[in-house]
Chain A
Amino acid sequence: MTVFSMLVERYGDDATLHKGDETFAARIFLQPVMTRAQDRRFSQMTPLGERDRGRFYAFLSAGEWEELEYICHRGTEYTVLRMERYRVHGETSHLELLLEKREEEYDGGD
């Protein structure tokens, strides 16, 4: 067990990881991506509605999950934009995910 695994197990939050039809339970650290730019807009108006452009980082232990689609944390779903491995002394210490809030699905039905 890595140092990060011990930390996230004790201090992290419960989350559910989703990949296709598979789900995994995990402990994560979740934090918003903040920028120093004062004029940064975190929402963007588009012809299809307002888009939340806020981003989040999630840190979790490496596991059998690869190419995750989205995660669910405290009732909020987040789309996984990017996943990177952090290695310490040649071994994978943890994973870092870049997330944004997952939009509500709409298939065109009324």
Chain B
Amino acid sequence: MASLAVLFAPSMTSITSDEIRHTALLARLRIEEKDIDARTQQIGAILDYVAMLQEVDTNGIDTALQVTGAAHVLRDDALREEELASPDALLACSPLPVIDHQIQTPSAHG
């Protein structure tokens, strides 16, 4: 399945400005039109560089998600004794209005 994905994926070394625009949308970033070409070229150069990883034979190799053996670390579902910061102190960090211990944001419905 992994090898099929590589076979059918678009060329790894030719990112287009449309793909940059789409990626920016996903990342909640706006790139000015005047900067799109430069950004596309720079990111393309980075992707060209990292494409060398395709040379490495990784057949049958598991992904390394962690390297110190710490996986599925659990703790007791118990209240911490010491409060690190009060809710009000945390809310005070917001640049938006805080009403009734809640941060008021623009509408999610646009």
A and B: bona fide binding partners: no
Where the two chains meet, the residues of B that have a C-beta atom closer than 8 Å to any C-beta of A are: none
